[in-house]
Amino acid sequence: MSEFGELLRSLRKQHKITQRQLAALVGIDFTYISKIESGTMDPPAEDKIIRIAEVLQVEPEQLILKAKKVPATFHKLITENSDVPLFLRKASKLSPSQWEEIKEILQREEEGDAE
């Protein structure tokens, strides 16, 4: 039941490359890839996951989450913006309908004063 490993293997195969090729592109040892795919070993550190995601052309974040890790971007957000923890504290108790409302709000593109 190695979520991450299975996904990795499937993505790699979609790209028709071998473990050795992927490993070379990513800059890690190919035996490590093998163990990760088989679930023998935990997913690698975030920076490696990101490089894998780039090579395999998927959203790094998606892969990081599959690895059951919290992306560094989230980490920063959580520890720096106090509203976020406020939200997370309640998030587990939100009803589907409340989630809907929140998604509505997220949809609305407001003045992008980001960056």
Residues forming contacts to a second copy in the complex (CB under 8 A) are 61, 65, 68-70, 74-75, 77-79, 81, 83-95, 97-99, 101-103, 105-106, 108, 110-114
**Residue 72 binds what, of a second copy, DNA, none (CB under 5 to 8 Å, by partner type)?**
none
Instruction: Report the C-alpha gap between 12 and 23 in whole angstroms.
Output: 11
Find where tokens 């040892």 sit: 29
Among 10, 14, 31, 62, binds DNA (CB under 7 A): 31
Q: Tell me how far CA of residue 5 lies from CA of 14, 16, 52, 59, 91, in angstroms.
A: 14, 16, 12, 16, 29
Q: Which amino acid is at 85?
A: P
Piece of 20-28, 58-66, 76-84, 89-97 that binds DNA (CB under 7 A): 20-28
Instruction: Report the C-alpha gap between 5 and 61 in whole angstroms.
Output: 16
* Residue ranges that bind DNA, judged by CB under 7 A: 18-21, 27-32, 34-35, 37-38, 40-42, 44-45, 47-48
